């Protein structure tokens, strides 16, 4: 009998944490209450992902389109981000979790910028899982920003290819996501990791984000482990 080979844990998982608003509405609560529960879930899933040995976890916390929401909801989400970054330092230290960022940093309020820069700097030496916070993030925006930087770096008329552009994305050292999860029963990727997610496996869960538990992450990974990834080639 052949020894069984342990199934691979995805190195990089991205999560579109959807359904906070509906979770709250279904309970007769205000939308912000759903985001508060969503933050608690995010902490739980960060721990679960770290325990599972995932190397990179990208969380879509706020998109470039989310500014269209009511000002109080936007403010509430920004405060939650601050709260997360402040309150999680001890946890990050204990679990060696490093904070990273993706998105248009310059478009964020100065207090959030400071909180993010501090957390990124304070955790820079940690060698456990890296949590990439996607805030004021849009896939198209990231590609445009990369393109502008690349155009500046290249002499007029000098040709470039995919590899050149990918070096100017927000985190060129992080591998492309193996798995992208979206909760709350919507089947779209909503401008999340457009470039990096070209060959990501997609997993959709019907559960609202605040209802997610570590078992849901385990189920997503078990499903991923059954996928046949060919990256456009043949086996």
Which residues are identified as catalytic? 18, 66
Strand segments, DSSP code E, in the chain are 12-16, 56-63, 98-102, 130-137, 179-182, 201-204
Question: 133 has which bridge partners?
Answer: 59, 101
Cβ atoms of 221 and 55 closer than 8 Å: no
- Any idea of the CA torsion for 35, 56, 172, 6, to the nearest 10 degrees? -140
Spatial CA neighbour of 38 closest among 54, 58, 56, 61: 61
Number of residues that bind ligand FPP (CB under 6 A): 19
Write the interaction track for ligand FPP spanning residues 144-183; mark x where CB under 6 A is met and - where it is not.
----------------------------------------
Write the interaction track for ligand FPP spanning residues 11-50; mark x where CB under 6 A is met and - where it is not.
------xxxxxx------------x--xx--x--------
Residue 66 contacts ligand FPP per CB under 6 A: yes
Cβ atoms of 50 and 29 closer than 8 Å: no
Cβ 128 to ligand FPP shortest distance, Å: 17
Please identify, using beta-carbon distances, which residue of 18 and 178 lies nearer to ligand FPP.
Answer: 18
Interacting residues with ligand FPP (CB under 6 A): 17-22, 35, 38-39, 42, 59, 61, 66, 77, 80-81, 84, 133, 184
């Amino acid at each position: 009998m052949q020894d069984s080979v342990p199934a691979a844990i995805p190195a990089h998982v991205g999560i579109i944490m959807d359904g906070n608003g509906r979770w709250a509405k279904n309970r007769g609560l205000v939308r912000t209450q759903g985001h508060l529960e969503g933050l608690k879930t995010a902490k739980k899933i960060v721990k679960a992902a770290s325990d599972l040995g995932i190397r990179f976890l990208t969380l879509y916390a706020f998109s470039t389109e989310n500014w269209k929401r009511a000002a109080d909801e936007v403010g509430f989400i920004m405060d939650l981000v601050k709260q997360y970054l402040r309150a999680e330092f001890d946890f990050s230290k204990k679990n060696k979790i490093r904070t990273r960022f993706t998105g248009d940093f310059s478009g964020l309020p100065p207090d959030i910028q400071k909180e993010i820069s501090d957390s990124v700097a304070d955790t820079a030496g940690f060698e456990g899982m890296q949590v990439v916070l996607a805030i004021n993030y849009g896939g198209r925006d990231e590609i445009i920003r990369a393109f502008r930087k690349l155009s500046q770096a290249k002499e007029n008329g000098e040709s470039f290819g995919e590899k050149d552009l990918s070096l100017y994305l927000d985190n060129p050292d992080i591998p492309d996501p193996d798995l992208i999860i979206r909760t709350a029963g919507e089947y779209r990727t909503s401008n999340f990791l457009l470039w990096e997610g070209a060959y990501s496996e997609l997993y959709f869960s019907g559960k609202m984000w605040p209802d997610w538990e570590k078992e849901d992450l385990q189920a997503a990974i078990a499903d991923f482990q059954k996928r046949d990834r060919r990256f456009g080639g043949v086996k």
